[in-house]
Structure 1
Amino acid sequence: MPRNTPYPRRARQTYLTLALATALTGSLTAYETSAAAQDTPHTLTGRPGVAAAQEARLTALAQRTVDAGAPGVIVRVDKGDGRPTEVVRQASWSKADHVLAANDEFRMGSNTKTMVATVVLQLVAERRLKLSDPIGEWLPGLIPNGAAITVRMLLNHTSGLFDYTEDPDVLKAFTGQDTRVWTPEEVLAAAVQHDPLFAPGTKYSYSNTGYLALGLIAEKVTGHILGDLVQQRIAAPLHLKNTYLVTGADTAKSPAFAHGYEPDAARLAPLLPPYAPAGTAFAGPARSAGYVDTTWINNSTEWAAGAMVSSARDWARFVTALMSGKLLPPAQLKEMRTTVAEESGNPNRYGLGLERVVTPCGTVWGHDGQAPGFSSWDYTDATGQRTVAVLATTIFGLAVPKTGSAGKALLNAAVCTMLDKPIPAAPASTSAPTGS
């Protein structure tokens, strides 16, 4: 759904993630410097005690993140050696709602885009759809200037479409203040009330709107609903037991579903940018730690842009299958990994539902995602054999500088562990971000 990443990004954001992006990107330079200082040797594989030391370091950093205020974190690192590391840490106050476990079901937010893009590219491989198809041919009348916007532009965020998450009415639904169920067509209508940002194909700007359109196109091409397409084409063949698309006002019922939290109105207010609408706050039952439980906010506005539920283990199996060529033919996998530049000064590049991300320990592929109460970062190496997931049971709880700095250190350590590189040293203090 909304984008936030600790690695450089200046894309347009929903009101609720602008401040968070600032909080998490600020400390990048310090970690890059630390990583460079430890750049020799490059690989740690085979050294006695390295795996145990890495796990101990990840455990300590996960606990530090929780101690700094995060409700809970899950870390899973698989270096492709058959011995994945899983770390779970949780604030004691949240255990009354649910005791967090390594394989809990989790709202994956914008990681959904990678699965939707995979389905679309499978249809391209089957010659039922072309990347060059104008979307007006598939969705006549839904999107102005649809004759000039192609399927590829929706996939790589070069359509110029306004991001619907910035619409005030949709924002109320995203935060749970508006409880009505939205259809994808209604969300698209809200988005296209706003002027496009630029002429199609001329620039990059991250837009959730394009992925709602892609979901509708996939349904139009096949005659099947999107959730069934994900099950038939990805989840069932890969035996993913905890992976499914939530639609409408449905909420997950599994006892293995993690609870998510956001700061209450009083704690959230100072974290918001100055132009956020008055009264912006998340709906949910109050918790004693100054959070509200946002688990049951209806996510009808998210759908193809961010409504997947999965687990760290399931997602690792998915990205391994994807990057190793088990889900797409070589031609379509190459298209997926054909990238465009993001914003000026940002080293990351975006493909077709897949991002190439520059980290202190090297380049990785994957996506990140947010849904009310849930943040996730899921990356892999170029082969898909090494995977990492860092999941946190909050979005804006990480916007507090001390918590965000601790979370950044944890994510960097997890990625570096996946790549078998030395873990960057954390800054001496996590009481404030190291930059702006």
Structure 2
Amino acid sequence: MVKRRDVLRGMALAAAGCGVGVAPLFAQGPGDQSAGPTLTPVEGLPEVRVSEAINHVLAPIRDRHHLPGLIGGLVHGDRLESVGVVGIRKVGSPALFQVGDQIHLGSDTKAMTATMIGSLVDEGKLGWAATVEEVFPDQAKKLHPDFRAVTLWQLLTHRAGLPANGPWWMLKQNQSTTEQRRVLMAGMLQSAPLTKPGTKFAYSNVGYAVAGLMAEQVTGQSWETLMRQRLFEPLGMKAGGFGPPGTKGKVDQPWGHQAEGETFTPRQEDNAPALGPAGTVHCTLADWARFAGLHLRAAQGKPRLLKQETFRTLQTPPPGSEYAGGWLVVERPWAGGRALTHSGSNTMWYATLWVAPQRDLAILTATNAGGDPASDACNEAVEALVNLSQIAPDRE
């Protein structure tokens, strides 16, 4: 299960949560670099270039934290411009971590779920103010009265008063993921909320599962199908999928690793499929860059897929909060002002994304390991990539 200590470690919020670990990245400006990156085209990914400079900064971070593998890249506009990767796919295997390998995003899935739901809002199938009672009228009487008026937007901004996690292990494997989410909602929304809905931030994977179920309810399609049709396919995220990357029992993709001190045990597992809207997407770094570029461009007033107003909503926290629709929104000097960020971990992977619209820059990094070493490594990798981004890359 997702661990609260791992996921919000270092996040600049008053309450700890679950499934996200956004660090408050260095306060001072980035250091100087004396030489620009050497870039090599990636076979099969002509738009992506391997940067020896990125490899050079990732390698000591990986070694220092004893990680199996570490990958990172720089996005300008809507393309992954340079990338580096070091390490192996699985402890005990000689297979190297590759640029085109799949990575598990954990709670970085949340911004994707919120964006997919934004397409339903644009079409009038859902509204940000739609309530649980309105979307599920047949079940409303079985729910606690305080939960009936909870809105879609409160679920997406963690202000619905729901707990971080539910009894995922009690869900039946022979049920569809939609039915599992329906059972979860019926069970979790019968008791009184932890806080009065709409008043306080309380990070909740359950809330995103319910938001995903609302999308399923109004469309008659599974969340997984909606993500493929409304996000992955339009963005060209060809490797977008759900659960642990790769074929069970094979090392055709990186495995996740559970941290045990400074050692890591390979695990090809994930959280319960019902958790999907909160954190089960996997994809390549190039795929993830396409999503980052979507929000980067939208923040610059160049929207695709969704209306500008919808992106503005997704990127604007409610008053008194820093958390919007799957994004923590903060101010950072190196970003030139406002930045969007999130991190995610299923305790076997860790991934971090920063979007800096004023810099026309997004930074992505991930490791096939969980725990504190992975969180620290991703933060250090982001800082190193910010430093490298000060050097204008070759953009022929």
State whether residues 72 and 84 of structure 2, in contact with CA within 8 Å, keep that contact through their aligned partners in structure 1: yes
Compared with structure 1, are the counterparts of its residues 11 and 59 closer, same or farther at alpha carbon in structure 2 (3 Å cutoff)?
A: farther
Which of the numbers 247, 253, 264 marks the counterpart of 2:247?
Answer: 253
Which of the numbers 269, 272, 283 marks the counterpart of 1:310?
Answer: 283
Q: CA deviation at 1:82?
A: 6.7
State whether residues 243 and 314 of structure 1, in contact with CA within 8 Å, keep that contact through their aligned partners in structure 2: yes
Distance 2:59 2:84 in 1: 10
Q: CA deviation at 1:5?
A: 5.3
Consecutive unaligned residues in structure 1, runs of 5 or more? 268-288, 344-348, 422-436
Q: CA deviation at 1:314?
A: 0.3
- Structure with the larger strand share: 2
Which of the numbers 302, 322, 334 marks the counterpart of 1:361?
Answer: 334
Alignment map for 1:79-228 (pairs within 5 Å): 79-80=76-77, 84-90=81-87, 94=91, 96=93, 98-139=95-136, 140-141=139-140, 143-144=143-144, 145-164=146-165, 169-170=167-168, 173=169, 181=173, 183-188=180-185, 191-192=188-189, 195-228=192-225
Compared with structure 1, are the counterparts of its residues 390 and 350 closer, same or farther at alpha carbon in structure 2 (3 Å cutoff)?
A: same
Structure 2 counterpart of 1:380: 355
> Matched residue of 2:70: which SS?
strand
Q: Look up the equivalent residue of 2:16 and give its one-letter code.
A: R
Structure 2 counterpart of 1:280: none
Compared with structure 1, are the counterparts of its residues 49 and 352 closer, same or farther at alpha carbon in structure 2 (3 Å cutoff)?
A: same
Compared with structure 1, are the counterparts of its residues 82 and 218 closer, same or farther at alpha carbon in structure 2 (3 Å cutoff)?
A: closer
State whether residues 105 and 256 of structure 1, in contact with CA within 8 Å, keep that contact through their aligned partners in structure 2: no
Distance 1:229 1:123 in 2: 10
State whether residues 80 and 286 of structure 2, in contact with CA within 8 Å, keep that contact through their aligned partners in structure 1: no
Deviation track 1:236-295 (CA, whole Å, cap 9, x = no partner) reads: 12221111234xxx874296532110124xx3xxxxxxxxxxxxxxxxxxxxx8322122
Structure 2 counterpart of 1:271: none
Which of the numbers 300, 319, 339 marks the counterpart of 2:317?
Answer: 339
Deviation track 1:339-369 (CA, whole Å, cap 9, x = no partner) reads: 13677xxxxx211222224446224224221
Compared with structure 1, are the counterparts of its residues 258 and 406 closer, same or farther at alpha carbon in structure 2 (3 Å cutoff)?
A: closer
State whether residues 120 and 218 of structure 1, in contact with CA within 8 Å, keep that contact through their aligned partners in structure 2: yes
State whether residues 184 and 301 of structure 1, in contact with CA within 8 Å, keep that contact through their aligned partners in structure 2: yes
Which of the numbers 12, 28, 31 marks the counterpart of 1:8?
Answer: 12
Compared with structure 1, are the counterparts of its residues 228 and 93 closer, same or farther at alpha carbon in structure 2 (3 Å cutoff)?
A: closer
Deviates more, 1:376-385 or 1:237-246: 376-385
Distance 2:195 2:246 in 1: 38
Q: Are residues 1:78 and 2:70 paired?
A: no
> Matched residue of 1:339: which SS?
coil
Q: TM-score, normalised by structure 1?
A: 0.71
Deviates more, 1:178-187 or 1:221-230: 178-187
Structure 1 counterpart of 2:259: 263
Structure 1 counterpart of 2:45: none
Consecutive unaligned residues in structure 2, runs of 5 or more? 40-49
> Matched residue of 1:340: which SS?
coil
Compared with structure 1, are the counterparts of its residues 318 and 72 closer, same or farther at alpha carbon in structure 2 (3 Å cutoff)?
A: same
- Give the number of equivalent residue pairs: 359
Distance 2:277 2:292 in 1: 18
Q: CA deviation at 1:409?
A: 2.2
State whether residues 271 and 280 of structure 2, in contact with CA within 8 Å, keep that contact through their aligned partners in structure 1: no
Compared with structure 1, are the counterparts of its residues 190 and 317 closer, same or farther at alpha carbon in structure 2 (3 Å cutoff)?
A: same
